Amino acid sequence: MVKQSILKEEFVSSPTFGHIKEEVFLKVFPKLSANALLLSKIFAHQNLSKKNSNSKAISFVDLYLSSLLMYLKNKAVLITGNKKHFPSCIFDVIGVINFEGEDEGIRALSIVEFNQEKFDGCYSSLEKLKI
């Protein structure tokens, strides 16, 4: 288990991942908050327009991850084990990573990215409600 932890730490600290410095984050946070609020409105609107929607609310953390993907469009992707929290009305699945879990079951991770065209369409639909 310790070996696994060391491998994970090395993987996350590799140059593959971008790390946001504190001073940059403090400058960007207001934009991320605005994006998160807008995305929450779009997600709510999309759920209301679906019949028999059984989806649960998207968490605060996932809203901010979505917001960060929106902010870093064309520069970042997200690997997630729960694709449902990144709705296809805004995000594209660009790949899937399959691996064998500790229980020997096969698990899938989705690689998602922000789609500006889909967002623009959802935003337009949301704006029509304000008329």
Per-residue confidence (pLDDT) for residue 1, from 0 to 100: 67
**Neighbouring C-beta atoms of residue 42, cutoff 10 Å:** 21
Given a cut of 60, is residue 48 above it in pLDDT? Answer: no
- Give the helix ranges, DSSP H, for the chain: 2-12, 22-48, 60-71, 116-128
Per-residue confidence (pLDDT) for residue 54, from 0 to 100: 53
Mean pLDDT calculated for residue range 54-59: 69
Note the maximum CA span of the chain. 58
Mean pLDDT calculated for residue range 49-76: 79
Mean pLDDT calculated for residue range 87-103: 92
Give dist(CA 49, CA 44) in Å, integer.
Answer: 9
Model confidence, pTM:
0.75
Task: Please report which confidence band the pLDDT of residue 8 belongs to, taking 50, 70 and 90 as the band edges.
Answer: confident
Per-residue confidence (pLDDT) for residue 69, from 0 to 100: 96
What are the angstrom distances between the C-alpha of 43 and each of 21, 68, 122? 29, 16, 9
Contact between 74 and 102 (Cβ < 8 Å) = no
